[in-house]
Amino acid sequence: MTRVKKGKNALKTRRNILKRAKGYRHGRSKKERQAYEALAHAGAHAFAHRRDKKNDFRRLWNVRIGAAAKSQGVSYSRLIDILKKKNISLDRKILSSLAQNNPKTFNRIIQKIS
């Protein structure tokens, strides 16, 4: 039986896959089939973790707001409740950055709503 070499496109695909799998451990960086499998799983995890990151940041913002509010004698849930009732539309990301970077401004907001 004659030897059949891979075509140009197949070699290009292999090269690109192995380039993307560079740094993976063991056969996953050297063998085409294992590299392709590893990249498929890596892509799935990356997609899921981009979604998880949003939850992680929201959780961090809540902790920062809660800590800053607690120093003023107000609980996190009470603060959010008062803000909603007074129609003050500051989202958690903004409140968190105020609590962290501009504590005086954050304290004035709490004094105003109390």
Helical axes 32-71 vs 103-113, angle rounded to 10°: 60
Task: Centre a 10 Å sphere on the Cβ of residue 109 and count the other Cβ atoms it contains.
Answer: 19
In order of start, what are the domains of the chain with their CATH numbers? 8-113 (1.10.1900.20)
pLDDT above 70 coverage of the chain, percent: 100
Q: Model confidence over 54-97: pLDDT tens digits?
A: 999 999 999 999 999 999 999 999 999 999 999 989 999 999 99
pLDDT interval class at 43 (50, 70, 90): very high
Amino acid at position 102, single letter: N
Greatest Cα pair distance, the chain, in angstroms, is: 87
Q: How far is CA 35 from CA 2, 19, 45, 82, in A?
A: 28, 9, 15, 54
Is the model's pLDDT at 6 over the cut of 80? Answer: no
Instruction: Please state, in angstroms and rounded to a whole number, the distance separating the CA atoms of residues 51 and 16.
Output: 27
